[in-house]
């Protein structure tokens, strides 16, 4: 059994296979010398467990579905020793803020519909907002003049370090096979090249990654695997298309940058989504790795790279773009809407030194009205690229993740946001297929109890851990 990619999705699958199945030999191959160097790196994403309560771009149906998957991370964290748990998940308050009459009316209506499913939700007026988040509710010590309403959830596990989580998955996976004859190997600094069908499995070419030390000096080799799951982020699509699968997709990479301020917020403060925009609105929250700093973002910059800060990935982008009339039609659909067009241009300007802080300040002041230019610094080297897929057949931009089931025993997972949140849920889906194909034991009941919090009768445990 081979897993390609050592981000949070690949390592979550490694953990579930080790703990809930008896697969004899599992190999995870990661291109870099360390795990979680790309989108799962702590600095490269928004560190949020998205469970649909404060993300106003989620419908109720989607929110309820995402909540069950999101809670898996918190249930998983309960299995960890306290010191490891405290490095992986963090309790903070969170809210979505409505500013002005329209947004406030929208949030009141949303609260009425969502709160029965998210019982910890509270509807906050201006005074309460100021009590929870003084920098949001007050300017110069007085309540903000605009109409304000927020939906808030008091302290709950809402922040996560996906990099630490990846490391913990590997440690727990190793524990899961310790003392048995099962083999679990994590091979770093090694790139997976071509994958070709061979008999009832696959022949996979491996080579040391140039510039990495973990496998330096080793000769390229090939191995046979009966089942292969590719969790290589945007590169999953590239690898699938090189094999002739997933050709119905194109990729629009949307980079996200961040800005730091001093410690302005107690918890996560999201804003109401403009429903004409396919990209999430900015938010602010304390950075889990940078004590005393609040992080604002992410921006949404169309960037022709499959990996941020890796100019060579431009050529890989060109290969997955697969530019044709269907892709141009989607670009046209996006550009002809004034809100989207303006947003795309504004996000380009967010990258221009000198100008970017001034422009971003205007947006960030919706959250913290008293923010000063001197408070803001561009978070250099932060942020990743969300590989948003374009469905060329239906000519539309897809907002969520995609799993390309190429052939029996070969799947390619592409994971834009909220791919971190869904890591254990997607892994459970893949484990189901692996168990069926390999005919191995799969302790579904234990997984349901430990990760979904279901009791022995199959009902969800009473405590709602993430959202209410
Ligand atoms: C700005 C931004 C903000 C985000 N915020 C959130 C958030 O708050 N919450 C959330 O849930 N999600 C968020 N996401 C999405 C989330 O970061 C990703 O969905 C998640 O990290 C994907 O995990 P992954 O393991 O699939 O991919 P990655 O973490 O990118 O890992 C893929 C791995 O595959 C390896 N790889 C690639 N090619 C090969 C090869 N040929 N051989 C071997 N290894 C290979 C890479 O080196 C990499 O380590 C955000 C993303 C961005 C960009």
Mean pLDDT across 309-324? 96
Pairing, β 259-262 against β 293-297: antiparallel
Flag whether pLDDT at 461 surpasses 80: no
Q: How far apart are CA 279 and CA 397, in angstroms?
A: 11
Q: How far apart are CA 24 and CA 105, in angstroms?
A: 56
Q: Are 327 and 317 in contact, with CB atoms under 8 Å apart? A: no
Per the prediction, the chain carries an average pLDDT of 94
Mean pLDDT across 314-343? 94
How much distance in Å is there from the Cα of 47 to the middle of ligand 1?
A: 12
Ligand 1 pocket, residues with Cβ under 6 angstroms? 4-10, 29-32, 36-40, 44-48, 50, 162, 191-192, 231-233, 235, 256, 298, 383-386, 415-421
What pLDDT shows up at residue 458?
Answer: 56
Flag whether pLDDT at 337 surpasses 50: yes
Q: Are 206 and 223 in contact, with CB atoms under 8 Å apart? A: yes
Mean pLDDT across 106-121? 97
Listed residue (99, 424, 388) closest to 269, CA to CA: 99
CA distances from 345 to 54, 329, 352 (A): 27, 19, 11
pLDDT tens, residue by residue, 383-392:
999 999 999 9
The pLDDT > 70 percentage for the chain reads 97
Flag whether pLDDT at 269 surpasses 50: yes
pLDDT-derived band at 466 (thresholds 50, 70, 90) equals: very low
pLDDT-derived band at 330 (thresholds 50, 70, 90) equals: very high
pLDDT tens, residue by residue, 179-226:
999 999 999 999 999 999 999 999 999 999 999 999 999 999 999 999
Mutate to test the pocket of ligand 1, among 220, 232, 255 (most ligand atoms within 8 A of CB): 232
Question: Ligand 1: which residue has its CA nearest to atom 27?
Answer: 233
How much distance in Å is there from the Cα of 239 to the middle of ligand 1?
A: 15
Residue 353 exposed, middle or buried by CB count within 10 Å (0-12, 13-18, 19+)? exposed
Q: Are 132 and 152 in contact, with CB atoms under 8 Å apart? A: yes
What pLDDT shows up at residue 468?
Answer: 27
Flag whether pLDDT at 282 surpasses 80: yes
Q: How far apart are CA 396 and CA 329, in angstroms?
A: 9
Quick one: tokens of 102? 């329209």
Atom of ligand 1 nearest to the CA of 9: 25
Flag whether pLDDT at 407 surpasses 50: yes
The answer to whether the predicted template modeling score (pTM) of the entire model surpasses 0.85 is yes
Question: Ligand 1: which residue has its CA nearest to atom 1?
Answer: 256
What pLDDT shows up at residue 456?
Answer: 61
Flag whether pLDDT at 280 surpasses 90: no
Question: Ligand 1: which residue has its CA nearest to atom 15?
Answer: 417
pLDDT tens, residue by residue, 120-140:
999 999 999 999 999 999 999
Q: How many CB atoms lie within 10 A of CB 442?
A: 21
Mean pLDDT across 418-429? 96
Atom of ligand 1 nearest to the CA of 256: 1
């Amino acid at each position: 059994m081979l897993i390609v990619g050592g981000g949070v999705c690949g390592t979550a699958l490694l953990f579930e296979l080790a703990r809930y199945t008896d697969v004899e030999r599992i190999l995870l191959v990661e291109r870099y010398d360390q795990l979680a160097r790309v989108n799962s790196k702590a600095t490269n994403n928004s560190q949020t467990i998205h469970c649909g309560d404060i993300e106003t771009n989620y419908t109720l149906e989607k929110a309820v579905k995402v909540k069950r998957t999101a809670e898996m991370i918190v249930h998983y964290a309960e299995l960890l020793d306290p010191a490891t748990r405290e490095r992986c998940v963090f309790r903070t308050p969170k809210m979505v803020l409505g500013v002005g009459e329209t947004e406030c009316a929208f949030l009141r209506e949303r609260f009425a519909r969502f709160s029965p499913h998210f019982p910890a939700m509270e509807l906050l007026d201006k005074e309460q907002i100021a009590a929870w988040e003084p920098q949001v509710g007050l300017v110069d010590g007085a309540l903000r003049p605009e109409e304000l309403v927020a939906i808030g959830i008091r302290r709950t596990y809402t922040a996560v370090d996906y990099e630490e989580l990846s490391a913990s998955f590997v440690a727990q996976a190793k524990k899961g096979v310790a003392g048995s004859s099962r083999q679990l190997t994590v091979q770093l600094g090694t790139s997976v090249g071509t994958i070709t069908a061979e008999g009832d499995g696959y022949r996979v070419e491996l080579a040391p990654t140039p510039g990495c030390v973990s496998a330096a000096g080793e000769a390229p080799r090939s191995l046979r695997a009966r089942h292969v799951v590719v969790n290589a982020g945007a590169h999953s699509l590239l690898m699938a298309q090189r094999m002739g699968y997933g050709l119905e997709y194109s990729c629009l990479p949307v980079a996200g940058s961040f800005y730091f301020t001093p410690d302005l917020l107690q918890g996560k403060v999201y804003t109401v989504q403009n429903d004409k925009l396919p990209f999430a609105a900015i938010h602010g929250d304390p950075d889990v790795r940078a004590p005393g700093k609040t992080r604002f973002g992410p921006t949404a910059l169309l960037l022709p790279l499959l990996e941020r800060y890796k100019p060579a990935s431009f050529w890989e982008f060109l290969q997955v773009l697969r530019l044709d009339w269907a892709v141009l039609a989607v670009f046209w659909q996006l550009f002809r809407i004034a809100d989207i067009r303006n947003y795309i241009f504004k996000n380009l300007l967010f990258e221009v030194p000198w100008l970017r802080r001034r422009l971003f300040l205007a947006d960030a002041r919706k959250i913290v009205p008293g923010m000063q230019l001197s408070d803001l610094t561009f978070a250099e080297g932060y942020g990743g690229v969300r590989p948003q897929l374009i469905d060329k057949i239906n000519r539309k931009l897809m907002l969520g993740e995609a799993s390309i089931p190429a052939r029996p025993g070969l799947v390619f997972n592409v994971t834009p946001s909220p791919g971190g949140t869904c890591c254990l849920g997607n892994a459970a889906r893949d484990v189901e297929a692996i168990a069926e194909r390999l005919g191995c034991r799969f302790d579904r009941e234990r997984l349901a109890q430990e990760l979904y919090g279901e009791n022995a009768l199959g009902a969800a445990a009473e405590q709602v851990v993430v959202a209410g």
